[in-house]
Amino acid sequence: MTDTKKSPQGEWSSHSAFIMAATGSAVGLGNIWKFPYITGENGGGAFVLVYLLCVALIGIPIMMSETLMGRRGRHNPVTTMESLTAEAKADEHWHYLGWMGIIAGILILSYYSVIAGWASAYVLKAFTGSFFDADAAAVKQLFADFIASPVQLAFWHTAFMLATMWIVKQGVNNGLEKALRWLMPSLFVLLILLVGYAMTTPSYFQGLHFLFTPDFSKLTGNSILTAMGQAFFSLGIGMGAVMVYGAYLPKKISITETVVVVSIADTVVALLSGIIIFPIVFSNGLQPDSGPGLIFETLPIAFGSMIGGWLFGILFFVMLVLAALSSSVALIEPAVAWLIETRGFNREKASLYAGSVTWLIGFASIFSFNSWSGFKIFGQTLFELLDYVTANLMLPIGGFAIAMFAGWIMVRGHSEQELDLPNPLTYQIWQLLIKYLAPAAVFLVFLDVVGVL
């Protein structure tokens, strides 16, 4: 098969470049910030088990589908869906899937950037020695004072959005690829070091027990939905980010292999993060369900007391910000690619427009942590609502649609050719998962939440 059709945005320079970019998109705040705090809120082990099942049985097959659809369509999600529907002679309404992805990406990035701003602020706090010898109460107070200030949150959110726009302006295969090559391995090494610290805490085994011993009485319909949403969020699937990255993927690269490697890396980072956080939580008498501030209320205790903690604290938050940056560029890329390909913008202008809109929406989340914290819709602050609607509703719906499209609408020969699996049996298994299991699972979870089951 010759590489006749290329994306107008260029291509990844090599196999490892794509693996790096896809890992960069997957690994981010979702693993290190979100996974521990929602695991804490949803009771631990059983939630983790559901999450792992969702990654393996729903996430991986959908990620394969999203990548292959992107590579076949070779454009932003809207144009890709248009060309795929034309090719399959399907209903043209499918291009709304592309639209939903672009919107979901912007909405997610609006609050993602606020949290990445917290991580950026913590680089400075680590540097100035704010955590030095701090106990749990002091660290909690430091965080409370910080998020009470809309000005500080706005400053760091702005800084992070500017950095995102600056990277996006350079295009997919400049700079980002190179930075990720050392970032991912270093992040991994640092996490292992922190696991070493967690092992020295008195409640190490209590932390592990919380994370890995399922107590199914803690599962509710909503926590199952949250676990499924987290599988989508953490892998970065269901909204077209993987579709655009797939569009930049040369034909000769194996989609299946890449997806499996990326999913494993992503899951390992999330689990490591949990293995680090929960022992610190229990060793310091903290509550696992304290919410989005969890890592900011726990890790500084470790950095404040461990040997070399000053340096490790700085390095950790720097890497967290960089990991967030490599995800934020993926979240905004569908919108940027759409502006370039259909509105004739150049990259610079596209990233300025998409970035500015995202930046503005971000203020809703900023104020929900302070001035507007009492303003609730369905009992949720604006930040919580944005997170719920995007991660728990839009991504699973997007994933469901992707599975249906790849399984039922796409011409069989096309998906077979894109996946290029070594034997017919693996293709059959993928078909089974994508046609029946993944859509049915998403559907059942939704039914459960609305109370039909």
In the complex, the residues that contact ligand TRP under the rule CB under 6 A are 25-26, 28-31, 108, 233-234, 236, 239, 241, 327, 330-331, 395
Residue holding tokens 């690829």?
177
Of 31 and 203, the one with the shorter C-beta distance to ligand TRP is 31
Q: Which of 419, 406, 396 is nearest to 259 (CA)?
A: 419
Of 42 and 327, the one with the shorter C-beta distance to ligand TRP is 327
Of 23 and 415, the one with the shorter C-beta distance to ligand TRP is 23
Beta bridge partners of 380: 377
Least separation, in Å, of the C-beta of 40 and ligand TRP?
A: 17
**Structure tokens of 292?**
């989005």
Question: Coil, strand or helix: which one is 11?
Answer: coil
Which amino acid appears at position 259 of this protein?
A: V
Least separation, in Å, of the C-beta of 185 and ligand TRP?
A: 18
Q: Using CA atoms, how far apart are residues 173 and 187, in angstroms rounded to an integer?
A: 21
Q: Using CA atoms, how far apart are residues 404 and 438, in angstroms rounded to an integer?
A: 9
Q: Which residue is nearest to ligand TRP (CB)?
A: 30
Of 65 and 234, the one with the shorter C-beta distance to ligand TRP is 234
Least separation, in Å, of the C-beta of 48 and ligand TRP?
A: 16
Of 26 and 301, the one with the shorter C-beta distance to ligand TRP is 26
Torsion, CA 185, CA 329, CA 235, CA 46, rounded to 10: 90
Least separation, in Å, of the C-beta of 394 and ligand TRP?
A: 9
Of 25 and 365, the one with the shorter C-beta distance to ligand TRP is 25
Least separation, in Å, of the C-beta of 66 and ligand TRP?
A: 10
Least separation, in Å, of the C-beta of 335 and ligand TRP?
A: 12
What are the phi and psi torsion angles at 377 (to 5°)? Answer: -120, 130
Least separation, in Å, of the C-beta of 31 and ligand TRP?
A: 5
Question: Coil, strand or helix: which one is 266?
Answer: helix
Q: Which of 92, 21, 3 is nearest to 246 (CA)?
A: 21
Of 168 and 421, the one with the shorter C-beta distance to ligand TRP is 168
Q: Using CA atoms, how far apart are residues 160 and 362, in angstroms rounded to an integer?
A: 11
Q: Using CA atoms, how far apart are residues 301 and 309, in angstroms rounded to an integer?
A: 9
